[in-house]
Amino acid sequence: MFKTKHMGYPVQESHASPVLGVITFSDVRRTPEPERGVIRVRDVMTSEIIAIEADADAFDAFKLIASDNVGRLIAIDHGRMVGIVSRTDLMRSVQFRGAYG
């Protein structure tokens, strides 16, 4: 998390398996420091997954992020995760469109 500056990651058993949850910097921060080296991801992750279809409108994604007060959504296509769209991604897109039309 510190190297990439991303604040949340999907949790999967393998690349092809379904998303089990999302682990965020906040999840890790809430874990007592002595436990951080031994606790399992599944014990601290958020298991409620908030997803959006990959071909959904960006404004719908922004509304979902705002209404659920989350920083990111899992983008899915035919039930499989194909990516993540974050609040920051959407804000950058709006800024880019404003600057370059």
> What CATH number did the domain enclosing 77 receive?
3.10.580.10
Helical spans, DSSP H, in 55-86:
58-68
In a domain, 73, yes or no: yes
- Kindly state the tokens that stand for 7: 């604040």
In a domain, 32, yes or no: yes
| Residue 40 · residue 16 · CB < 8 Å | no
In a domain, 91, yes or no: yes
pLDDT, tens digit, for every residue of 19-33?
999 998 888 889 999
Given this model, what pLDDT does residue 96 score? 61
In a domain, 2, yes or no: no
In a domain, 3, yes or no: no
* Three-state DSSP state, 92: helix
In a domain, 67, yes or no: yes
pLDDT, tens digit, for every residue of 43-76?
999 999 899 999 999 889 999 999 999 989 999 9
In a domain, 93, yes or no: yes
Cα Rg of the chain (Å, integer): 15
Which structural domain range is residue 68 located in? 8-100
| Residue 13 · residue 20 · CB < 8 Å | yes
In a domain, 1, yes or no: no
Looking at the 3D structure of the chain, how many domains does it have? Answer: 1
